[in-house]
Structure 1
């Protein structure tokens, strides 16, 4: 690694598993100090232990991003441990696919609370720290479904489209404070969680649709997240990068 994030303090929501864990670990290898925020304490602690065992610096933070107070507490605890937060990764999401008529009020509410409100609470929690420090970078995890139609994914698409809009508007509002806001739209990406619900045949069908000929891995998303948090992306804000092997534009 090249130390592109030395001196950064990063809060990663949903940072204990899947894409969030890959981002947490890769940020740490690039020199950042990490706050791993996860709903389950044991998941956050295991990821933080892994980072520390590899020579990085990390603290485990437990909280529900749907709860504003939890996110604010995590930002305060991370600042107390390592100093002001300079990078925020809004990765946490809860989702259920299915026909719209099967979506209950609780399911829809939870998708909005975690996937959209969690982003807003993240903004609010870290903005004072970033402003006081003279700037920062925010990376939101969106989806190609923010711009493409998805059968049985109306609410997921709506939430991710809102995240894309909050990315653009956040870039405009926070830019004068030296804060950049960008998003990543991952294509079909194999994670432990996805492997629990997608069969081998399902992955193969997805792979066949990807022009580059392979499925995404969490490390692919983490690499893009490092770039967007680094000085290499210092003139990029309000953008959404599609890390999808070409599937979005090939089928749009």
Structure 2
């Protein structure tokens, strides 16, 4: 542990699994106290318990980020237990790929509610705490799909483009309060959840397209999230960092 985030308090949505879990663990290793927020309390608790067992500070909270009141309640509980939030990671996402005409109103509504509205509710809940603390950092999880065309992913691409736009505009709006707003665009990343729906053959096809010769791991995204939240990135705001092994520009 280098202690790059010592004294910080982080709220990580979708923090119980995949990329969110890796970020929660990495932040704790760097000294941050972490509010692990997830729709599934049991996975949030498992991640928080791992942090505490390693000597860190963490609490687990169940919240549906599509529900503004639940996001505000989670943020208030983090402040009460750990102190004012100074790092927010908007990671939670619900997505379904497929032809647009096959996607129902309910499905599209949930994707927007979780993937975009959840980011806005996170802003509204955490930014006032950051102002009181004298500043902070927001790290949004976007996607290369924000800037690339994607077959069977119209809604996903549109939502992630909106997240990228909210990153840029958030940087402009919150900058005077010493709040930086950044984003990560992960490339193909092998998470437990992705492994349930992506076959070994499909992973291999993706790997073969990677200029760097391998697929991404959750820890790759966590390392980028640590950098963006740290003082090493103190002059970085409004930007989306592509953590994708070079695949976006190689095939754009």
In structure 2, the partner of 1:143 is: 143
Q: Which residue of 1 aligns with 2:155?
A: 155
How far apart, CA to CA, are the structure 2 residues paired with 1:173 and 1:76? 23
Which residue in 1 is equivalent to 2:36?
A: 36
2-structure distance, mates of 1:235, 1:149: 30
Deviations along 1:12-56, whole A, 9 cap, x unmatched? Answer: 000000000000000000000000000011111111111111111
Distance in 2, matches of 1:184 and 1:133, equals 24
Give the CA RMSD over aligned residues: 0.4
Give 3-state SS (helix, strand or coil) of 1:163's partner. Answer: helix
Structure 2 residue runs without a partner (length 5+): none
Per-residue CA distance 1:103-140 (angstroms, 9 max, x = gap):
11011000000000000000000111101111000000
Query: Matched residue pairs, number?
Result: 252
Would you say 1:8 and 2:17 are equivalent positions? no
TM-score by length of 2: 0.99
After TM superposition, what 4+ stretches of structure 1 lie above 6 angstroms from structure 2? none
Aligned: 1:167 with 2:161? no
CA offsets, 1:192-222, max 9 Å, x none? Answer: 0000000000000110111000000000000
In 1, distance between residues paired with 2:209 and 2:96? 22
- Aligned residue in 2 for 1:234: 234
Which SS does the other structure have where 1:11 is aligned? Answer: strand
**Other-structure match for 1:83:** 83
What is the Cα deviation at residue 79 of structure 1? 0.3
Determine helix, strand or coil for the equivalent of 2:197.
coil
The 1-side partners of 2:127 and 2:3 are apart by 24
Per-residue deviation, 1:9:
0.1
* Structure 1: runs of 5+ lacking an equivalent: none
If the length of structure 1 is used for normalisation, what is the TM-score? 0.99
Instruction: Provide the rounded CA distance (Å) in 1 between the counterparts of 2:91 and 2:203.
Output: 22
Give CA-to-partner distance per residue, 1:144-203, whole Å, 9 cap, x none: 000000100000000000000000000000000000000000000000000000000000
SS in 2 for 1:98: coil
Match of 2:190 in 1: 190
Indicate whether 1:201 and 2:167 are aligned. Answer: no
